Structure 1
Amino acid sequence: MTGKTHIMGGIAATTALTTSTGYDPAWFIFAGAIGGIIPDICHGGSKIGRKFPLLSKLINTLFGHRTFTHSLLFLLLIGFLLSMMTSNASLIAGIIVGIISHLLLDAATKQGIKLLYPVNITVRFPFTTKTGGTVENIVLLGLTLVTIYYGKDIVFSSSFFTQ
């Protein structure tokens, strides 16, 4: 999947979950967008890889693409590191949810992911698509509609409109 789909995946997931959690919507959704692109730090051409080219090159050299940064091990490591760096539960949870959305979206591609890294097993859904293709654009539209659907509840229930 492309960066825009991963960002929208993180936003859609956190927006939908905001209605059933006590997380601060602004932090949670912002962090979901960031978490949605973090796993692609292993790819120099990705949105995040272009922002941090040296780190991206190092990670890609050590692990390759869609291996360590697309695994449960990486997810646990990020969760641990974030909990050591901040006490903002909305930020931590948002990044974790964004990463999970990224993993799910990439598992829907033909390349799949190494979810159980370092075990060399590729995980992909039975129905896959090509990155950047028509199906991905339909997925992006669906994620946008999910965001609008759940986002309206967040906007209209905020204290801004009730005061």
Structure 2
Amino acid sequence: MTGKTHIMGGIASCSAIAYYYGFDPVLMTASGAIGALIPDICHTKSKIGRTLPLLSKVVSTVFGHRTFTHSLLFMLIMFLITAAYIPNKSISAGLMIGMASHLVLDAWTVNGIKLLFPSAIRFRLPLYMRTGSFSEQLVLAGLTIVSCYYFYELFHGRIS
């Protein structure tokens, strides 16, 4: 998936979770958008890879693309880090939800992800698509609609 689809996936997921569980929607969705980019630190041409090129190069060289940073092991490590160093629950939950949405979206692609890294087994959802395809554009549109719906619901009562 492309960066914009990952960002929208993080925003859509976090706006829905914020709505149902009472998290701060602004902090959570902003964190979700950032979290949705984190797993692609392993890809030097990704949005986060271009922002942190040295770190991205190291991670890419050591692990390759869609391996460690797209795994449950990485999610566990990031959970421990966010729990220890980010006291705001809306931010820490948003980061984790954004990263989880990234993994789900990439598991929806032809190449899938190594969810159980260091195992070489690739995990891919049964219905999958190519990155940048028309199918991905439909997913992006759907995620945008979901985000708009939940933002409307979250803020409708506060505006009127």
Is residue 111 from structure 1 mapped to residue 88 from structure 2 by the alignment? no
Q: Which residue of 2 aligns with 1:3?
A: 3
Query: What is the distance in 1 between the residues matched to 2:86 and 2:40?
Result: 23
CA distances 1:106-131 after superposition (whole Å, capped 9, x unpaired): 00000100000011110001111100
Post-superposition shift, 1:22? 2.3
Q: 1-side partners of 2:76 and 2:8: how far apart?
A: 22
Query: How far, CA to CA, are the matches of 1:85 and 1:112 in structure 2?
Result: 31
Matched position secondary structure for 2:7: helix
* Overall identity of the aligned pairs, in %: 51
- What is the match of residue 97 of structure 1? 97
| Residue aligned with 1:19, SS | helix
Match in the other structure for 2:62: 62
> Any conservation in 1 of the 2:17–2:23 contact (CA below 8 Å)?
no
Distance 1:49 1:136 in 2: 21
| Alignment match, 1:88 | 88
CA contact (8 A) 2:31 2:94 kept: yes
Which one-letter code corresponds to 1:150 in the other structure? Y
1:26 is aligned to 2:26: yes
RMSD: 0.8
* 1:50 CA displacement: 0.2
| Structure 1 unmatched runs, 5+ | none
- What TM-score do you get using the length of structure 2 for normalisation? 0.98
Deviation at 1:25, TM superposition (A): 1.0
Distance in 2 (alpha carbons) for counterparts of 1:93 and 1:157: 24
1 CA distance for matches of 2:86 and 2:54? 25
